[in-house]
Structure 1
Amino acid sequence: MPTLSPDVGAHRLKATRSQDLDEAFGKVLSEYLELKIAVLQKTTDRLEEKWGMEFSTFKRHLAEDDLPDEAYSYDVEQDCWEWEEAETLKAHYQQVQMGWT
């Protein structure tokens, strides 16, 4: 079973103002997941606003070759990759969060 060094445990307790290491770990993990999901949601929101559609609709338009000509530029490809990564990671962290709480 993995163990924590006394310094790491002490810092975790101090940072969370907890008296229990398990409780402190739970707080740290819960807050981390919330922050990660929020950051990824901001990326999703920004790209939805930019393109005026949800990612699933964007992917469908892309697959159907139904985007403006400039949609095949490097910048648009970067948006697609960033958007897909944000959606994938957000779903992953939400799944971890559901299993944790």
Structure 2
Amino acid sequence: MPRFSPEVGAHLLKATRSQDLDAAFETVFSEYLSLKIDSLERSIKRKEEKWGMGFSTFKRRLAEDDLPGEADSYRVEQDFWEWEEAETLKAHYQEVQAEWT
């Protein structure tokens, strides 16, 4: 378990209203992971709604140059990179969360 400075420990205890530093850290870390996953899921959902498909379909259709409009435009590529990052980070945080619980 990592060690915390007295100041960090005091803030953890105060923020969580806990008497136990390990429990306070567990609460903060668990909530952090949940918030990150929820935020990434919302981002993914927005892309799915915008494009009317899941990421794997979007990725395939982009490679096949089969997207509506101009598939090589900057905006489409930007959406691809943002979507791919959200999918990758979501999987990462879910793996960490599964190991943590």
TM-score surpassing 0.5? yes
Alignment match, 1:89: 89
* Structure 1 runs of 4+ with >6 Å offset: none
SS in 2 for 1:84: helix
Shift of residue 40 of structure 1?
A: 0.6
Residues in 2 aligned to 1:53 and 1:14: alpha-carbon distance in whole angstroms: 44
1:18 aligns with 2:18: yes
Shift of residue 2 of structure 1?
A: 4.6
For each residue in 1:61-90, what CA deviation from the matched residue of structure 2 results, as whole angstroms up to 9, or x when unmatched? 112221134121001100000000000000
In structure 1, list runs of 5 or more residues that go unmatched: none
Residues in 2 aligned to 1:36 and 1:49: alpha-carbon distance in whole angstroms: 20
Alignment match, 2:3: 3
1:41 aligns with 2:41: yes
Trace 1:54-73 onto structure 2 (pairs within 5 A): 54-73=54-73
SS in 1 for 2:70: helix
For each residue in 1:33-54, what CA deviation from the matched residue of structure 2 results, as whole angstroms up to 9, or x when unmatched? 0111111111100000000000
1:79 aligns with 2:91: no
Residues in 2 aligned to 1:2 and 1:57: alpha-carbon distance in whole angstroms: 42
In structure 2, list runs of 5 or more residues that go unmatched: none
Instruction: Report the TM-score, using the length of structure 2 for normalisation.
Output: 0.94
Instruction: Report the TM-score, using the length of structure 1 for normalisation.
Output: 0.94
Across the aligned residues of Structure 1 and Structure 2, the Cα RMSD in angstroms comes to 1.2
Number of aligned pairs? 101
Residues in 1 aligned to 2:41 and 2:69: alpha-carbon distance in whole angstroms: 28
Identical aligned residues as a percent: 74
